[in-house]
Chains A and B, each alone.
Chain A
Amino acid sequence: MSPRQIAIWSAVAILGAVAWGIIALVRGEHINAVWLIFAALCSYAIAYRFYARFIANRVLGVDDRRATPAERLDNAKDFQPTDRRVLFGHHFAAIAGAGPLVGPVLAAQMGYLPGTIWIIVGVIFGGAVQDMVTLFFSMRRDGKSLGQMAREEIGPFGGAAALVAVLSIMIILLAVLALVVVNALANSPWGTFSIAMTIPIALFMGFYLRVLRPGRVIETTVIGVALLLLVIVLGGLVENSSLAAAFTLSPETLVFWLVVYGFAASVLPVWMLLAPRDYLSTFMKVGTIALLALGILLTRPVMVNQAVTKFAGNGQGPVFAGALFPFVFITIACGALSGFHSLIASGTTPKMIEKESQVRLIGYGAMLTESFVAVMALIAACIIEPGLYYAMNAPAGVLGTTVQSASKAVAGFGFTISPAQLTAAAAAVHEKTLVARTGGAPTLAVGMSEIFSGIFGGDALKAFWYHFAIMFEALFILTTVDAGTRVGRFMLQDTLGNVWKPLRRTSWWPGVWATSAVIVGAWGYFLYTGVTNPLGGINQLFPLFGISNQLLAAVALTVATTILIKSGRLKYVWVTAVPLFWDAIVTLTASWQKVFSADTKVGFFAQRAKFQTALDAGKVLPPAKSLDQMREVVTNSTVDGVLAAFFAILIVVILVDAVRVWAATLGGRREPVLAETPPEPSKLWAPAGLIPTADERAYLAEAKRGDTEPALTGSAGQRVVKEE
C-alpha cells in the first residue's frame, strides 16, 4: 500500500471506531442515526478491502487466466459474459427483498444495539462470505445449484436433505411474507386498492411488451411506474368514496385472494403477470432504497429506541418471545446471514460472471449492500416512539382492538402511549387503526413516512409516503410470492417426476395445475393459520422462518467447508467453518428452545400442553376467545413444534453426513474427488472491481491503442473496451 492509501484506510478505521464507540457507549441520551450509517459503511469498506480480498486471493484462489462458464458456454442466453456492474445490479435485485426490511424491525424490540452489531458483524464474517464462496464454487461447476453441489460433494443423503430443506424453507418463507402483506393491507382500502391495481397495470405492461413494443423494457417500466404512482394517489380518493367498502377486506378474505393470485401467477404465462411485475418491483425497490438512504442522511433522525431493552435479557418481549441469544440471530436473517441467497448465488449469477475475480464485487459486495438496507430499516424502526412501536407490533390478542386497551397493554410492557396519541398516529397516515399492525411493514412505513415527509411535503404528505412505503413493500413481497410459487412448482414437478414421469412435463396441464395447487395450498395453510392464530401469526411463524433460513445457510456453509477440506485448503477452513459453527449453534439452540422450552411463550409443545389441558377442562385461556380458538392454538402449536424439530433434524443429518466426508478425507481413507470443471484458458479481460484500478486502466488504454496483444476477442471484452 502507498502512504496515501495507508492514510485513507487509517482515517476510515478511526471514523468507524468512533462511530462504534458512540453507538455502543452513549447511554442516557439519544444518539443520531448517522452514527449507525458511519459505523456500517466504515466497517463494510474495511471488510471489503481486506477480508474479502484475502478470501478471494488466498482462500478461494480466484484465477483470471481461467475462463468462466459464461465465457466457455456463451450461448447469448443463460450463459453470457455480463458486465460486472450490470451483474451486480441483477444479483442485488434478486437477493434483496422484504427480509432485510422486516427482520430488523421486529428485532428492534431488543433495542438497536444487538441488531446493529449482528447485522454488521454477521454480514462481514457470515452472510457476505457465504454468498461469495457459494457463487465461486458454483461458478467453478458451471453454475450448478446448491442441491446438486451438496449431492456431488457430500453425498446422496446430504443432497436429499438439502433438497427437502430448500422446499420447506420456500413454503415457510412464502407464508410469512404473504402474512406481512395481509397484515399491512387488512382493513386498509387505500393500500388494498393500490395493490389490487398493480394487477391490471402488470397485465397492460405485459401486453404492451409482448405485442405492441417487444423488448422496450424501459419505456414499459416508465409507463408502469407512472401508473403505479397514480394509483397510490387515487387510493387516497377511493378511501373516501363509496368504493371504500369494496376494498376494505378482512385478513381472511385477503388470504383467499392471495392464494388465488399465487396460483394464477404460477400457471399463467410469465409475460402476462410475473415478468412485468418483476420490472415494476425491481424499479420500486432500488428507487425506494436510494430514497431512504438520502432521507436518512438529509434528515439525520435521532434514535428514540433504547440501545438494549429489558426484553433482550428476560425473553418476554411481546413481538416475538425468547431471549437475545439465539433469537436476535434468527429474527434478523436477511441482511446478516441469509441462506436463501445461496440459491441465487448458485442460480443464474454464476453463469453470467465474466471473470473469476469479480466474485468479490458481486458476491461479497452485493451482500454488503443488502446489509446496509437492513441497517436503514433498523433505523426507520428505532426513530419511532417505543410506545407506538409496541402498540403496532404486539399481537392483537394481547393488545385488544381499541386504542384504550392497546394503551393499557403497552403500559404493561413498561412504555407509554395515550389513546389519543394512538388515534392521532393512525389519522396522520389515514389508517383506521395502527393497533397490532404486526409484520414489520406498517412500522417501517410509519418510520419511512416520518423520514420522507421530513424532506418532501411535510405532514401534508405523510399519508402519501406511508402508503407509498406499504405499496413498495407489498409489491415486491408479492413478486417474491409469485416467483417463489413458480420456482417451488418446478422443484416439485422435478422431484415428483422421478417417481412418475408425466409430472415433469411443464406443458402437461393437469401436472402443472396439481403441483401449483400443492405449493399454494402449503403456504396458504400456514398463511391462514398465521392470520387466525390468537397468539399472533408473526409471533408464532417468524421464528420458524428464521430457523429455516439459517438452516439453508448451514447447508451452503457445509458444502463450502467440505469443498475447502477436499481441495486441501485446511488452513483456511475457518473462513467458512466458523460461521457454520456459529450458525449451527444458533439454529439448533433456537429449534431446541422452540421444541423443548417449558416457557409457554417460547416452547411450542409447552404451549400446546397448556392449551390442551385447559381445553380438556372446558376452559378458555386468553388470548383465545372460544373453544374453537383453543383447538386452533393446539393444532397450530403442534404443527409448528413438529416443523421446528424437523428443521433441527435436517441440520443434524446434513452436518453428520458432511463430517463423515471430512473425516474420511482428512484421515486419508478417501481420495478427495472434486466435481470442478477442468480449467480452460480465458481469452476475455475485464476489471475485477467496481472501479478499474490504475493498472487496469493502463492496460485498457494499451489495448485500445493496439500496442499490446491482449486477447480481447469475446463480446464482453469488446464491450468493456467500448464502455470504459
Chain B
Amino acid sequence: MGARAKDLLGRVGWYVREVMGENAYDHYVEHARRQHPDAPVLSRREFERQRMDEQAQKPQNRCC
C-alpha cells in the first residue's frame, strides 16, 4: 500500500472515530489532564456510562 493510500485511510479512520464518538474518552482524558491535573481521571467504563446517562437527560432531537 502506498504512503498516500495509507494517509488517506488514516484520515478516513480518524473521521469515522470522531463522528461516531469513539474518541470521546480520549478527548475527555486530554481535557481532564490539562484542566484538572491533580484530579483523578475516570476509567473508560465509568466515563462512557456517565456520558450515556447524561445523554438520557438531554435527548437530542432528530429531524424529519
- Give the residue name and chain of the A residue nearest to B14 (CB): A723
> CB distance A217 to B22 under 8 Å?
yes
- Give the residue name and chain of the A residue nearest to B59 (CB): A486
Cβ-neighbour of A83 out of B18, B22, B34, B57 (below 8 A): B18
Contact mask B40-64 → A, CB, 8 Å, 1/0? 0000110111011111111111111
Q: How many angstroms between the C-alpha atoms of A251 and B37 in the bound complex?
A: 58
Of A1-9, A72-80, A424-432, the one touching chain B: A72-80
Residues on A with beta carbons closer than 8 Å to the beta carbon of B30: 715
Rounded to whole Å, the gap between the CB of B16 and the closest CB of chain A is 6
> CB distance B22 to A218 under 8 Å?
yes
Q: Using known A-B contacts A85-B15, A86-B18, A218-B20, determine if residue A96 contacts B63 with beta carbons closer than 8 Å.
A: yes
Residues on A with beta carbons closer than 8 Å to the beta carbon of B15: 85-86, 89
> CB distance B21 to A341 under 8 Å?
no
Majority-rule SS of A interface residues: helix
Total interface residues on B, CB under 8 Å, equals 37
Contact mask A85-97 → B, CB, 8 Å, 1/0? 1100110001111
> CB distance B32 to A275 under 8 Å?
no
Cβ-neighbour of B63 out of A270, A271, A341 (below 8 A): A341
> CB distance A344 to B64 under 8 Å?
no
> Does A221 belong to the interface (CB within 8 Å)?
yes
> CB distance B20 to A221 under 8 Å?
yes
> CB distance A506 to B57 under 8 Å?
yes
Rounded to whole Å, the gap between the CB of A575 and the closest CB of chain B is 23
> CB distance A214 to B21 under 8 Å?
no
Contact mask B1-41 → A, CB, 8 Å, 1/0? 00000000001001111111110110110111010000000
Cβ-neighbour of A275 out of B18, B27, B52 (below 8 A): B52
> Does A340 belong to the interface (CB within 8 Å)?
yes
Q: Using known A-B contacts A269-B56, A484-B62, determine if residue A76 contacts B17 with beta carbons closer than 8 Å.
A: no
Rounded to whole Å, the gap between the CB of B26 and the closest CB of chain A is 10
Q: How many angstroms between the C-alpha atoms of A217 and B25 in the bound complex?
A: 12
Q: How many angstroms between the C-alpha atoms of A340 and B62 in the bound complex?
A: 9
> CB distance B52 to A334 under 8 Å?
no
**Which of B45, B52, B63 has the largest count of A CB atoms less than 10 A from its CB?**
B63
Q: How many angstroms between the C-alpha atoms of A82 and B4 in the bound complex?
A: 26
Q: Using known A-B contacts A78-B58, A340-B64, A487-B59, determine if residue A715 contacts B22 with beta carbons closer than 8 Å.
A: no
Residues on A with beta carbons closer than 8 Å to the beta carbon of B57: 506
> CB distance B55 to A275 under 8 Å?
yes
> CB distance B61 to A343 under 8 Å?
yes
Contact mask A462-486 → B, CB, 8 Å, 1/0? 0000000000000010011001101
> CB distance B19 to A86 under 8 Å?
yes
Q: How many angstroms between the C-alpha atoms of A77 and B11 in the bound complex?
A: 24
Residues on A with beta carbons closer than 8 Å to the beta carbon of B59: 270, 274, 483, 486-487, 490
> CB distance B58 to A177 under 8 Å?
no
> CB distance B62 to A483 under 8 Å?
yes
> CB distance B63 to A97 under 8 Å?
yes
> Does A173 belong to the interface (CB within 8 Å)?
yes
Q: How many angstroms between the C-alpha atoms of A278 and B62 in the bound complex?
A: 9
Residues on B with beta carbons closer than 8 Å to the beta carbon of A76: 27-28, 31-32
> Does A348 belong to the interface (CB within 8 Å)?
yes
For chain A residues 360-393, which have a beta carbon within 8 Å of chain B?
Answer: none
> CB distance B19 to A89 under 8 Å?
yes
> CB distance B31 to A74 under 8 Å?
yes
> CB distance B60 to A99 under 8 Å?
no
Rounded to whole Å, the gap between the CB of B40 and the closest CB of chain A is 15
Q: Using known A-B contacts A77-B51, A275-B52, determine if residue A217 contacts B20 with beta carbons closer than 8 Å.
A: yes
> CB distance A99 to B20 under 8 Å?
no
Q: Using known A-B contacts A77-B54, A85-B15, A271-B52, determine if residue A99 contacts B64 with beta carbons closer than 8 Å.
A: yes
Residues on A with beta carbons closer than 8 Å to the beta carbon of B52: 210, 269-271, 275
> CB distance A218 to B17 under 8 Å?
yes
> CB distance A484 to B25 under 8 Å?
no
> CB distance B63 to A215 under 8 Å?
no
Rounded to whole Å, the gap between the CB of A374 and the closest CB of chain B is 12
For chain A residues 178-228, which have a beta carbon within 8 Å of chain B?
Answer: 209-210, 214-218, 221
Rounded to whole Å, the gap between the CB of B19 and the closest CB of chain A is 4
Rounded to whole Å, the gap between the CB of A79 and the closest CB of chain B is 11
> Does A347 belong to the interface (CB within 8 Å)?
yes
- Give the residue name and chain of the A residue nearest to B57 (CB): A506
> CB distance B27 to A80 under 8 Å?
yes
**Which of A77, A82, A333 has the largest count of B CB atoms less than 10 A from its CB?**
A77
Q: How many angstroms between the C-alpha atoms of A343 and B20 in the bound complex?
A: 22
Q: How many angstroms between the C-alpha atoms of A274 and B56 in the bound complex?
A: 9
> Does A549 belong to the interface (CB within 8 Å)?
yes
Q: How many angstroms between the C-alpha atoms of A77 and B52 in the bound complex?
A: 11
Rounded to whole Å, the gap between the CB of A261 and the closest CB of chain B is 15
Q: Using known A-B contacts A77-B54, A715-B31, determine if residue A334 contacts B48 with beta carbons closer than 8 Å.
A: no
Q: Using known A-B contacts A89-B19, A715-B34, determine if residue A348 contacts B47 with beta carbons closer than 8 Å.
A: no
**Which of B16, B27, B60 has the largest count of A CB atoms less than 10 A from its CB?**
B60
Provide a sorted-by-A list of 29 A–B residue pairs whose CB atoms are within 8 angstroms. Answer: A76-B31, A76-B32, A77-B54, A80-B27, A86-B18, A86-B19, A94-B62, A95-B63, A98-B64, A99-B63, A99-B64, A173-B64, A210-B52, A214-B45, A214-B47, A214-B49, A215-B22, A217-B21, A218-B16, A221-B20, A270-B55, A271-B53, A279-B20, A347-B61, A480-B64, A483-B61, A484-B62, A715-B30, A723-B14
| Known contacts A218-B17, A338-B63, A480-B63; 6 further A-B pairs (Cβ under 8 A) | A83-B18, A210-B49, A214-B49, A216-B22, A269-B52, A715-B27
Q: Interface on A for B, CB 8 Å cutoff?
A: 74-78, 80, 82-83, 85-86, 89-90, 94-99, 173, 177, 209-210, 214-218, 221, 269-271, 274-275, 278-279, 333-334, 338, 340-341, 343-344, 347-348, 476, 479-480, 483-484, 486-487, 490, 506, 549, 715, 723
Q: Interface on B for A, CB 8 Å cutoff?
A: 11, 14-22, 24-25, 27-28, 30-32, 34, 44-45, 47-49, 51-64
